[in-house]
Amino acid sequence: MQFSKSFVRFNWVLVVLLYLVVVAGSFVRITGSGMGCPDWPKCFGSWVPPTQARQLPQDYKAIYLAKRTKKVEKYSKFLVAIGMEETAERIKKDPSIYKDEPFNVKRTWTEYLNRLVGFLAGNLMLFGFGWMLLRYRKSKLIWLLALNLILMGFEGWFGSLVVASNLVPWTITIHLLIALIIIGIQLYITYKINEPKSKEIKASSVIRSIIWIVFIITFYQMILGTQVREAIDQLTKQGIGRDQWTDKLGMPFYIHRSFSWLVLVAMVYLTWKNEKGEKIKLIRLALLILVIELISGVLLAYADMPGLVQTSHLVFASILFGILWMGALRLKK
């Protein structure tokens, strides 16, 4: 089936917007703005959040604590229903979940803008589904787009649980996992609708195999890296300094660090094979992005440079994920 240029471009715009959602989410995390809006989908009970504390009722903390407690109860029942009784009980008894968050206008608007980007991405995806339904309903891709739309809705709902549980660490990891799956599906859809016009890249079985291996490791690394970051946040809350992090983080940190070097070695070997043969530009780009991503990781681990470095680390890892996934799709025998 032939898809119009405008539809192809629209899907590329959607890919970019999904990446902006990841960027916005990371920025919320580094600024500690995750609880900037204590409720969801509204923010302090309004579609446009307040700019001053005096615009809030005097007992706003008690109001939103009651709402959060009610949502945690529903969340716990859901976990029990899927067989996670221990996790549900641990969340209900976690005192940090019920901790008051004072109003901070910067954090509130940072979280609000993050939600706006997510809202825009979700509505564009809904618009794209309607477009395909009207013009290309015979395409099998419509089912994949429908699945991605459902995942986008689930991601929004799960985001409300992340807020309700006061950013319980493992919920953030799942939040990122779903986001990567959504990006992966959208990239596949974009590739398929443009497939007749895209030139397939011929590559040896060695290059194709290494691309897949590096892609799988990168995907795992992103999930593991989020868990390491969550552990560091917990250590920081406990007043444990950077000099003790390595001992406290344990095996996940060592695996994450070791796999980073494994990916680098694999990519250097892949680039060497590529330069001897096919000279595929996509592989050169992947190596460049990987080097930048590793440098940001080193700065995070050893140079005490959080903030935007943390955002860049996640963003470049996400871009590498997308490049490797597109490479795995486009490289043919």
Distance CA 103, CA 258 (A): 41
pLDDT, position 260: 82
Within this chain, do residues 193 and 229 fall inside the same structural domain, yes or no?
no
| Same-domain status, 149 and 236 | no
Distance CA 186, CA 192 (A): 10
DSSP 3-state of 46:
strand
Mean pLDDT across 18-35: 80
Residue 232: its pLDDT value, please?
67
**Paired tokens of 35:** 């609880």
The CATH number covering residue 279 comes to: 1.20.120
Are 168 and 206 in the same domain?
A: no
Q: Are 68 and 164 in contact (CB under 8 A)?
A: yes
Q: How many domains does the chain have?
A: 2
166: confidence class by pLDDT, cuts 50, 70, 90: low
Q: For residues 321 and 278, state if they share a domain.
A: yes
Q: How far is CA 105 from CA 21, 25, 48, 53, 102, in A?
A: 21, 17, 12, 8, 10
Of the residues 167, 198, 229, which one is the last residue of a structural domain?
A: 198
Q: Is the pLDDT of residue 169 over 70?
A: no
pLDDT of residue 245: 64
Helix residue ranges per DSSP H, the chain = 5-30, 60-81, 85-92, 105-135, 141-164, 169-193, 205-237, 245-249, 251-276, 281-302, 308-330
Predicted local confidence at residue 234, as pLDDT = 67
Residue 221: pLDDT band with limits 50, 70, 90: confident
> How many of the other CB atoms lie within 10 Å of CB of 41?
14
Q: Report how far residue 255's alpha carbon sits from residue 220's, in angstroms, rounded to the nearest whole number.
A: 10
Asked if 74 and 136 sit in the same domain, the reply is yes
pLDDT, tens digit, for every residue of 88-137?
A: 777 777 776 677 667 888 888 888 888 889 889 999 999 999 999 898 88
pLDDT of residue 68: 72
Whether residue 233 has pLDDT greater than 70: no
Q: How far apart are CA 36 and CA 163, in angstroms?
A: 9
Query: Rounded to an integer, what distance in angstroms lies between the CA atom of residue 126 and that of residue 147?
Result: 11
Q: In this structure, are 184 and 319 located in the same domain?
A: no
Confidence of residue 189 (pLDDT cuts 50, 70, 90): very high
Q: For residues 246 and 193, state if they share a domain.
A: no
Q: Which phi and psi angles does 201 have, rounded to 5°?
A: -100, 120
Final residue in a domain of this structure, among 147, 169, 198: 198
pLDDT > 90 in the chain, percent: 17
Do 183 and 322 reside in the same domain of the chain? no
| pLDDT of the residue at 235 | 65
* In a shared domain, residues 179 and 242: no
Boundary of a domain, candidates 198, 222, 250: 198
Instruction: Give residue 149's domain range.
Output: 1-198
- Chain mean pLDDT for the chain: 80
This prediction has a pTM of 0.82
191 and 206 within one domain = no
Across 14-40, average pLDDT: 81
Which pLDDT score, from 0 to 100, does residue 223 have?
83
Chain segment 241-287, per-residue pLDDT in tens: 666 666 666 777 778 778 888 888 888 888 888 888 777 888 888 88
Tokens of 96: 């940090």
Q: Are residues 234 and 302 in the same domain?
A: yes
Specify whether 176 is located in the same domain as 104: yes
